[in-house]
Structure 1
Amino acid sequence: MINIRPVSDLRNKFPEIEETVIGSNTPVFLTKNGYGAMVLMSIEQYSALTDDIERNLDEADAFAANSSIRLSKSDVFDKIRSRVDEQAKL
């Protein structure tokens, strides 16, 4: 279940929000004046989202350090667009 709270709860009910985020391992969505403002999540949740990206970036850095191949920005985006278009056709 999505947990949506006003941002004032962060100040007024921090222990409760902390227990929700850490205890249930689910993010809490905070609103300000009725609009989404931010999302709170545990370090474990954040790591689960970013670890794979960080690992891939590290691999790309290692490849770049050992390769003389360089692509222009337009080459990179053209390759990405073609892959997205291929996926859209499936």
Structure 2
Amino acid sequence: MNIRPSAAIRQNYNEIAELCRKTAEPVYLTKNGEGDLVVMDMETFNRREKMLKLREELLAVEEDRLHGNEGYSVDEVAAMMRNAIQEATGRG
């Protein structure tokens, strides 16, 4: 875990930015010894956001399954994917 005082972002922006990119981990900034902000590079942030969205979608699907909602067969999903590809490429 990378922890820096908040003054470090003003004094050493490039160093902190490089640390974020190099480690793909957030840097935690403190103010008066207490946690204040979290800084991370855009690639790491976007990757985390995509993972959170996927987890939300998987959770929703699992909740539907637990409530008895029917899913789709592999053949049905394959057909839907083929149709979506055809529509997206203008062949549908």
**SS where residue 48 of structure 1 aligns?**
helix
C-alpha deviations, 1:2-53, integer Å up to 9, x for none? 1110000000111110110012222111000000001111112112221133
**SS where residue 36 of structure 1 aligns?**
strand
Task: Quote the sequence identity (%).
Answer: 34
Aligned position for 1:36: 35
Aligned position for 2:14: 15
| TM-score, normalising length: structure 1 | 0.55
**SS where residue 49 of structure 2 aligns?**
helix
1:4 correspondence with 2:3 = yes
| TM-score, normalising length: structure 2 | 0.54
Aligned position for 2:49: 50
Q: Which moved more, 1:4-13 or 1:17-26?
A: 17-26
**SS where residue 24 of structure 2 aligns?**
coil
d(CA) in 2 for partners of 1:23, 1:46: 14
User: Alignment length, in residue pairs?
Assistant: 58
Structure 2 gaps, min length 5: 64-92
